[in-house]
């Protein structure tokens, strides 16, 4: 068979293929042309050409490493990172990482909503209208006034808790044994209306009669009313000033403050100088350091509480400390009915009451001769209580003094002065009541008969509640002696608005 490919028939419609050259066998190695060039390294035979010579042991020839390719290295790093991220994703999903992120997000949203709600509530409450209707009783409502804050917590409640809950004897040799105080607790003596926290401007209204009265009123949350009075004046109120019996007018010490005997002696000198100078307030102003804040109250009926409450109520704790203070109240009154009246009560440590600058009652704690500091009048009762060896029956159990009878006519005004003081520390009290002769025909000085509180306006429910913790038998039902409460116009010095 011919092997020449030129004899192939032509492909239809295709041009003829070019002739192929015949295949030939590769040349034999012996016929290879001789050359002096060495072969390339990769063409070397595994053994030398001189097979008869021993072949030395040589390490295999390694080609030179190629230069690193940056792109290839980056690709490898990316591949390794992708493999690591894949492993982390598998681990994250295996242990619920996605659910954890969702939970954290939901809780964060809830926390933001809660904080926003709390802040909005606090801001709204803080901006609320603090005005309240303070009217009480059956008359018109009291004025709407704005309240301001005052501190209510004692600076050292622990020390106060250690204070004795009994009235203590003022003399070391006394054998008087006093009963436990009824229904009293340290917490009630430290806060609220009884504790002397002031509202600084809360005008407790009192109805019942023409015009709006002034009373302790009602407290709202942190706003409380002091039994010592409020800062807003009114014609149905007495104006009060607090003095420090331990410091002179310019603030210098009069004696060592811790000396109880010196404090009591200074209290005696203050009362006696006041009476000797015709019951002139200048006596106190010119001799003792006074608080800048003045308080206004329709009554002086302060049940037993801590002596520190007086400086706190007058907002002068940094200037005046307890024990050793004196509070002076004055104002104008008028009776609802023409009749004979007399004051009754007791003050721990002392309480003096005067009408038109004439002493009508001296009601001290009967220890250390205090009952003899002021000369008694003949009709003061109990008989013999103001003698050097006199004692007040029922002292510490509701016992009270009865002063002189005096006449008051309806439509006339009278100037009243009340001076209370404290020197021993601990608990103190000043409770003033009044007796109307036509309502008490027997006129017996009985401690068991409730007497009306001396007041210029009706008392609010809060004020009545604050006066419960006492041994005295009293009632809030009784005459009101305020000018507006009895239809009179305020006169100069009556502290009208």
* Length reported for the chain: 497
Contact 302, 429 (CB under 8 A): yes
Is the overall model pTM greater than 0.75, yes or no? no
Report the 10 Å Cβ neighbour count for 53: 9
Tell me, what's the pLDDT at 68? Answer: 56
Tell me, what's the pLDDT at 75? Answer: 60
What does each of the 497 residues of the chain score in pLDDT, given as a tens digit?
444 444 445 545 545 555 555 444 445 444 444 444 544 444 444 444 444 444 444 444 445 545 556 565 666 566 666 666 677 777 767 777 777 788 888 888 988 998 887 766 555 554 444 333 333 333 333 333 333 333 334 444 444 434 434 444 444 444 444 444 444 443 444 444 444 443 333 333 333 333 333 443 333 333 345 899 999 988 899 999 999 999 999 999 999 999 999 999 999 999 999 999 999 999 999 999 999 999 999 999 999 999 999 999 999 999 999 999 999 999 999 999 999 999 999 999 999 999 999 999 999 997 778 999 999 999 999 988 988 888 888 887 889 999 999 999 999 999 999 999 999 999 999 999 999 999 876 666 778 889 999 999 999 999 999 998 888 999 999 999 999 999 998 866 555 44
CA 429/CA 346 separation, integer angstroms: 8
Tell me, what's the pLDDT at 152? Answer: 37
Tell me, what's the pLDDT at 226? Answer: 80
The two structure tokens encoding residue 493: 């010095």
Contact 275, 201 (CB under 8 A): no
How many alpha carbons lie under 13 Å from residue 198 in its C-beta half-sphere?
Answer: 21
Tell me, what's the pLDDT at 394? Answer: 86
Contact 496, 490 (CB under 8 A): yes
Tell me, what's the pLDDT at 364? Answer: 95
Contact 313, 228 (CB under 8 A): yes
The two structure tokens encoding residue 10: 């032509």
Dihedral angle sign, alpha carbons of residues 221, 223, 226, 227: negative
Tell me, what's the pLDDT at 5? Answer: 47
CA 88/CA 92 separation, integer angstroms: 6
Q: In 95-233, where does DSSP find H-type helix?
A: 97-126, 157-161, 186-190
Tell me, what's the pLDDT at 28? Answer: 46
Report the 10 Å Cβ neighbour count for 321: 16
Reference 211, options 497, 421, 428, 403; nearest CA is 497
């Amino acid at each position: 068979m011919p092997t020449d490919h030129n004899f192939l028939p032509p492909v239809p419609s295709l041009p003829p293929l070019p002739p192929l050259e015949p295949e030939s066998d590769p040349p034999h190695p012996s016929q290879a042309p001789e050359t002096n060039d060495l072969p390339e390294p990769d063409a070397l035979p595994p053994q030398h050409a001189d097979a008869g010579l021993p072949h030395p042991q040589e390490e295999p020839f390694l080609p030179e490493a190629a230069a690193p390719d940056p792109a290839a290295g980056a690709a490898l790093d990316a591949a390794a990172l992708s493999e690591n991220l894949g492993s982390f994703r598998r681990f994250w999903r295996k242990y619920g990482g996605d659910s954890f992120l969702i939970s954290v997000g939901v809780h964060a949203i809830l926390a933001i909503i809660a904080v926003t709600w709390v802040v909005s509530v606090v801001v709204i409450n803080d901006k609320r209208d603090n005005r309240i209707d303070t009217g009480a009783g059956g008359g018109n409502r009291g004025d709407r006034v704005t309240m301001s804050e005052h501190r209510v917590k004692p600076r050292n409640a622990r020390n106060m808790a250690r204070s004795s809950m009994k009235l203590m004897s003022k003399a070391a040799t006394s054998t008087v044994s006093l009963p436990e105080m009824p229904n009293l607790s340290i917490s009630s003596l430290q806060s609220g209306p009884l504790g002397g926290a002031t509202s600084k401007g809360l005008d407790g209204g009192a109805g019942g009669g023409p015009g709006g009265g002034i009373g302790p009123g009602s407290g709202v949350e942190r706003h409380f009313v002091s039994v010592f009075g409020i800062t807003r004046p009114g014609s149905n109120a007495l104006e009060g000033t607090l003095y420090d019996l331990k410091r002179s007018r310019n603030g210098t010490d009069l004696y060592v403050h811790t000396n109880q005997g010196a404090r009591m002696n200074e209290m005696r000198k203050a009362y006696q100088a006041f009476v000797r100078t015709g019951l002139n307030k200048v006596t106190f102003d010119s001799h003792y350091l006074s608080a800048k804040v003045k308080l206004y109250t329709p009554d002086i009926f302060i049940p037993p509480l801590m002596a520190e409450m007086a400086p706190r109520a007058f907002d002068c704790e940094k200037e005046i400390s307890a024990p050793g203070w004196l509070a002076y109240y004055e104002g104008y009154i008028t009776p609802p009915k023409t009749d004979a009246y007399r004051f009754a009560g007791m003050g721990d440590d002392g309480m003096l009451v005067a009408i038109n600058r004439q002493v009508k009652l001296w009601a001290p704690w009967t220890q250390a001769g205090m009952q003899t500091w002021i000369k008694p009048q003949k009709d003061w009762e109990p008989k013999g209580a103001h003698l050097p060896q006199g004692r007040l029956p029922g002292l510490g159990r509701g016992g009270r003094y009865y002063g002189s009878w005096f006449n008051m006519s309806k439509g006339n005004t009278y100037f009243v002065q009340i001076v209370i003081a404290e020197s021993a520390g601990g608990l103190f009290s000043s409770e003033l009541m009044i007796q109307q002769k036509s309502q008490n025909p027997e006129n017996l000085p009985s401690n068991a008969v409730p007497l009306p509180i001396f007041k210029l306006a009706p008392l609010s429910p809060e004020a009545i509640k604050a006066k419960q913790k006492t041994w005295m038998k009293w009632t809030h039902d009784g005459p009101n002696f305020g000018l507006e409460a009895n239809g009179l116009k305020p006169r100069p010095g009556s502290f009208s608005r």
